[in-house]
Structure 1
């Protein structure tokens, strides 16, 4: 045989049968096909070196075994661990995953989602940039299965795999209050359109209202300088005179806060308490180690993959919420002002 790629037409001519018969053979439909014909086609395929075009076969099967995953910030280690967990489950189940980054941009997110739809993915795992389900109606219109991970949509329109951000942030806030702090300064990226950050912020506001203390919010982006952050922390803590705990709303913000406090020689926990909602185990990499709510993104990725496979293989389209367990890790970054006062 020549080096030319064999086609289904070539096999049909060699076997003396129709192209439709070859197609039925390749797809395992042997009814109305004699044993002699089956044996003849099988031998020709084996001796000719013909390779099934999996992409073309997927068009026939109407299933590609491709899964799309879009994360908000691929530079965040949370996204890497999320992908790792999902990829493990998909590999075990015979699916291939395509990872894409929205870079926290709604426009880019839509382009990435449209690219995945053009690739005819069987399903999508999405860490959404927007809270509004209407922004993703075009996916529902295609009938493509989807699971929302880490965040929530309003109204809920797909299965969601997330953390109890409000509950765990409330747990952390109560601990801060119990340690005798009079002010909590939250710091993070803009909370609008981000359900995780909104819930963490709301929990602290509810805690301080009950406790009769104050809470402030610092919203930053990539253009916010270290000196700007330092000046805001100083102003909101009354130049370190107020018993203030800084609450970093995610792990990457925590690392930046710690670097700034070190740069400006602010002692933790002596002058400022520091806590965080940690995406990964950043808090164990610094001294003192930081009190955190510790998430488990790898488990979140595994759960989202299993939920999507269940949708695809069992036609389970139930809209539900799965909460992934987190934990409060008490370390050395807060001063117990009640105890220090009594000493």
Structure 2
């Protein structure tokens, strides 16, 4: 037997249904699924020894409170203090601060874009300078208020972003 943890994909394959159908079943939307399909999913969950990931469920549930702090490079001497002050201000306002970086190569930029797009953050704070092209690449398809770097303290930048988010609601 493999040490690998079963995933929704494993359950879907075993039940002969889509991952979306398994997700609906797990998230309490079983009324939208036929009784025969529910039974197949239940059997597949037992046979694969599937257990929902509490980390994944937590991220999904809290997705709307995540604020991403994008760091193009960690080389600037003021980045550490900026991130510390911005993170504290965001956490004190009830958000989860997630720091992504660096974005200083095309490969890193692409990886950070994939992570960012998957997070669906409530807001984005750019903690440094990015070219317009890099900013477009990073933000492609991401729908969230964005505050590009300003020469503010981290606390002031976080406050400005939170105000932008409140206005966007």
Into which bin does the TM-score normalised by the smaller protein fall? 0.5 to 0.7
CA contact (8 A) 1:70 1:113 kept: no
Shift in Å, 1:138: 4.0
> 1:54 aligns to what?
56
Cα distance in 1 between the residues matched to 2:110 and 2:12: 37
Do the aligned partners of residues 5 and 97 (structure 1) sit closer, same or farther apart at CA in structure 2, a change above 3 Å counting?
same
- Deviations 1:199-254 (CA, angstroms, capped at 9, x unpaired): xxxxxxxxxxxxxxxxxxxxxxxxxxxxxxxxxxxxxxxxxxxxxxxxxxxxxxxx
2:30 matched to which residue of 1? Answer: 30
> Residues 140 and 27 of structure 1: is their aligned pair in 2 closer, same or farther, counting only changes over 3 Å?
same
Aligned to 1:147: 147
Match of 1:129 in 2: 129
- What residue ranges of structure 2 are gaps of 5+ in the alignment? none
TM-score, normalised via structure 2 length: 0.54
- The secondary structure found in structure 1 opposite 2:99 is strand
Q: Give, in whole Å, the separation in 1 of the partners of 2:72 and 2:4.
A: 41
* Residue deviations 1:273-319 (CA, integer Å, cap 9, x gap): xxxxxxxxxxxxxxxxxxxxxxxx241253255357x27xx8x29xx
Alpha-carbon separation, structure 2, partners of 1:134 and 1:3: 43
**Aligned match for 2:114, one of 105, 114, 118:** 118
The equivalent of 2:71 in structure 1 is 70
Query: What displacement does 1:109 show?
Result: 7.1
Kindly tell me: are residues 54 and 33 of structure 1, through their superposed partners in 2, closer, same or farther at Cα, counting changes over 3 Å? same
In 2, are the aligned partners of 1:126 and 1:148 still within 8 Å (CA)?
A: yes
Deviation of 1:83 (Å) = 0.7
- Which of 288, 297, 303 is the aligned partner of 2:159? 303
Whose RCO is larger (CA < 8 A, sep 6+)? 2
C-alpha contact 2:67 2:125 (8 A) present in aligned 1? no
Structure holding more strand per residue: 1
CA distance in 2, matches of 1:23, 1:95: 27
Note closer, same or farther for the CA distance 1:22–1:6 as it changes in structure 2 (3 Å cut).
Answer: same
Higher helix share: 2
Distance, in Å, in 2 between the alignment partners of 1:115 and 1:143 is 14
Tell me how far 1:84 sits from its aligned partner: 1.4
Gap change, CA 1:26 and 1:97, over 3 Å in 2: farther
Q: 1:80 to 1:29 in 2, by over 3 A?
A: same
Q: Where do 1:163-242 residues align within 5 Å?
A: none
Whichever of the two has the greater Rg, that structure is 1
Note closer, same or farther for the CA distance 1:74–1:5 as it changes in structure 2 (3 Å cut).
Answer: same
Q: Any conservation in 2 of the 1:147–1:307 contact (CA below 8 Å)?
A: no
128 and 27 in structure 1: CA distance in 2 versus 1, 3 angstrom threshold? same
Does the 8 Å contact 2:79/2:127 carry over to 1? no
Q: Which residue of 2 aligns with 1:98?
A: 100
- What SS does the aligned partner of 2:129 have? coil
8 Å CA contact 1:66–1:96 kept in 2: the answer is yes
Aligned length: 151
Give the TM-score normalised by the residue count of structure 1.
0.32
Are the equivalent residues in 1 in contact too, given 2:126–2:149 (CA < 8 A)? yes
